[in-house]
Structure 1
């Protein structure tokens, strides 16, 4: 992409809460040499507190790219010491493995310490004044931050969240054809093991195996798109009433990349070429602002019958692009297609970093 519209003279100091987990590790690699943010603090559970980061993740580094050497030397803080860790930070990214009520309390504590929280967790996705954002689709939801700040009694602090990783593999395509009014959607997602924070070394049972259940995923996959498509009324987000979505979520033996097989009915008629054109032309605020993590094309449509493939296409635009293919008519529904997104980049840490870039560019942090 061309040079960004928004630049900074001094980088924002970012903390990572849950830094030792897989998504935390992704945050670390994404923030290395980032033009807006620098990693200024790492926090995790009390088990890791006081160790250097290199010691804390020894034998537990899950990514196929190395940990930056300067990060290995940083000392890990206790995430529960909110006042101590928050001092001097401009924002925090949060990706922790805790109970939902504990996560909500932790994220609110950081927000009340006047540190914006960009969360990968699900705990606050249904808090009415917390924006849950796919930046290309519903950036206008950020306006509810003003309502949230009044509730929390903060001037700078707030919480913004990204949605579940699975919905990124089909919701962008539904967003691109909203003018055609999707009414019914059936989506089956085939989800990589990294979505569970695992590698094949840690989860050998997944080799040559498929598990037809992922706890809580189907409810998220059916309901979260309606919040993404929702409106802002009275300072809070009101979910859309349609389309009606039903899903099945299946764990498959793939390292990265969530695939979705989607069937849909549309209220308005359109040709295959018209739908594909909408996919290819769809863009949003990140592309307009040329944000650093924004893919040049949000959706890439493949004409080949055997695309998208997780191994070939999950890394498109650095893992921040979404791809789809095999759009065709169906015997029961109007149309069907296959979608793919990188679950730990667009679907997790990368999506959160893109939200933070948008928040910075629009003056929220």
Structure 2
């Protein structure tokens, strides 16, 4: 990442428990039924998001990050659990109720080219959410479009052009502007910079942090690049095979990773800003099939410190320090399993 993207990391915001959350997800599960069997894409995922906070979600491909993003905005129906947006439960909201909720909950997709209708001008794309929700006159909507373009660093005349006339980074700016058109409280960002060149990634990340500082919007940031997630996030949740295995403040999690999987991810990340920290044991083996999940701790088949208890019992989420939580029988590599231990896994 260019130097302008790493000069200073934004200060960590207060944890979501300190104020009333704008988004609360409790026990969220998503299952897919296929000819081969049931895929447990998400299993008992819980977190809160505070006003003006960025919660980063990281993990390997297939861990459930994008499924979580789509379930939160109700592009997927959850199998269990609840999703609360402010004071409104949207878990099973009808299409009509979800239309009203869309004013407070928006999404930016990974591929900006696929998320923008190539037949429409940018002005029409940005004005459409305003028209759907009956906001403003035609002249007021045109003024709002020009304001949105300015906020994301594009000139007013961009409204007359079509998406294919822009670069990838510019198209993502348009996608961000469209998500902000209704002044939402929460924006879900599903790997918004992974399809962009590294230099463009830095520009988009700086844009997002500037917009958050100005507008006070909350971000749920899905990513696989640890340096990107570290740069934008206040707190980070680490996912493995559909579950959150560690959740904590960015600085706490980077300085003191407690779950073996988190430590393995950090050890595997390239370092260019100083001597590398002593690496732990490398991960071995492949990620288990989501059709046939391991018993007990799902990470035990690849964990360098797994013991018999890990194969038998599912670890409960426990608090290591204020705001730092981990689901592991041996947090921080302790020699004895922590207590309490939950019931045997299915």
Structure number with bigger Rg: 2
Structure 1 length as normaliser, TM-score? Answer: 0.32
Between 1 and 2, higher relative CO (CA 8 Å, sep ≥ 6) is seen in 2
Structure 2 length as normaliser, TM-score? Answer: 0.33
